[in-house]
Copies of this chain bind each other. A is one copy, B any other.
Amino acid sequence: MLLEIDHHSGVPIYRQVIRQIRQQIMTEGLKEGDQLETVRDLAAKLKVNPMTISKAYSFLEAEELVERKRGIGLFVSKVKKGRLDRIKAKLLDTVLNRAAVTAIQLGIPEDEAVEIFKKQYREYDSQNRR
């Protein structure tokens, strides 16, 4: 499980953990039944307090993306395809809406904004294609 924490971003560590794990579940980097790293291991690896990790895991559990097996560990839940799609769609809408609003407020016309968006898409995509 590959996580990167930015201690200077101002974003709480536990939220960074939540977001990244959620992302990996969405993109199936983490699949149903996969075990998450133990609280203590992940805490040691990221050099943060175990409770910080525990807190992140608790929220993921409340979201039902992750399940506890008591005394054993945490595992990725089965997420129904429909629910997954809804979460994805919502996430996407949010971020694209934010982008569109900014473009409009800056007075950038639609096609120009779309071009920049495409450029960004292709750049990132080509860099991260495997």
The answer to whether A99 and B99 touch across the interface, beta carbons within 8 angstroms, is yes
Copies in the complex: 4
Q: Residue among A13, A107, A120 with the most chain B CB within 10 A? A: A120
Contact of A121 among B88, B95, B104 (CB under 8 A): B104
A114: CB under 8 A from chain B? yes
CB distance from A22 to the nearest CB of B (A): 10
Residue A92 lies at the interface, judged by CB distance under 8 Å to chain B: yes
Q: What is the CA–CA distance of A97 and B128 in the complex, to the nearest angstrom?
A: 14
Q: Interface size on A (CB < 8 Å)?
A: 46
Q: Is the interface of A mostly helix, strand, loop or mixed?
A: helix
Q: Which residues of chain A have a CB within 8 Å of any CB of chain B?
A: 7-8, 10, 12-13, 23, 26-27, 59, 62-63, 67-70, 88, 91-93, 95-108, 110, 113-114, 116-118, 120-125, 128
- What residues of B have a CB within 8 angstroms of the CB of A91 in the complex? 102, 106
Residue of B at shortest CB range from A72?
A: B7
